[in-house]
Amino acid sequence: MQETNSLLATARAKLEASLLAKGLRRSGERFAILEEVYSRNDHFDAEELFLAMHQKSYPVSRATVYNTLEVLVDCGLVRKHRFGEEDNVKSRYEKSLGRQQHAHLVCTVCHKVKEFCDPRLHLIQTNVGNALQFSVESHSLVFYGQCTDESCATKPTDDTGKLDSNA
């Protein structure tokens, strides 16, 4: 767990510097939230993070969860994704320190998120940048569909590929 610990130490230092720069309080709550985020390997939403903090007997307010997430996104410790379509976008978060760039698969039925890395994506990015004289800094790629996990509820047919609103 050495690697995880040093990653967390780096993340804590970065958050500390960022809070200081923004003139925000360096409260224990914010660092507890950071710790929870860095203990996870999933793509969570703000509500899930809020509930996880309560389950760990570290109750923080929703407002604290939301604004701490914004700070973490701002200082590059957390990546924010907006999966879905215009009228039904879900914000999901994941830690970013120590992570490679990767693409996502989002299940439109159970909302599970999977990741994959493929070096060919980087090759496309480089080639397109060269061909169009464009300095590409990053990309995001999301595949939508249905996973084959047993726990994935099967839905009747008229699923148009949009994210379900009642999950």
Choice between 28 and 98, CB closer to Zn ion: 98
* 111 is annotated as contributing to ligand binding: no
Footprint of Zn ion on 80-139 (CB under 5 A) = 94, 107, 109-110, 112, 115
* 107 is annotated as contributing to ligand binding: yes
Minimum distance from residue 118 beta carbon to Zn ion (Å): 14
Asked if 147 touches Zn ion (CB under 5 A), the answer is: yes
Asked if 15 touches Zn ion (CB under 5 A), the answer is: no
| Three-state DSSP state, 56 | coil
* 75 is annotated as contributing to ligand binding: no
Asked if 73 touches Zn ion (CB under 5 A), the answer is: no
In contact, 101 and 90? CB cutoff 8 Å: no
The DSSP symbol for 80 reads E
Of the CA atoms within 13 Å of residue 165, those in its CB half-sphere come to 4
What gap in Å lies between CA 23 and CA 42, rounded to an integer? 30
Surface-to-core class of residue 151, CB atoms within 10 Å of its CB (0-12 exposed, 13-18 middle, 19+ buried): exposed
Minimum distance from residue 63 beta carbon to Zn ion (Å): 26
Task: Provide the b/e sequence for 38-59 (b: ≥16 CB within 10 Å).
Answer: beeeebbbbeebbebbeeeeee
Q: Residues binding Zn ion: what is the number (CB under 5 A)?
A: 8
* 139 is annotated as contributing to ligand binding: yes
Q: Which residues are annotated as a binding site for Zn(2+)?
A: 107, 110, 147, 152
**Residue ranges in contact with Zn ion by CB under 5 A:** 94, 107, 109-110, 112, 115, 147, 152
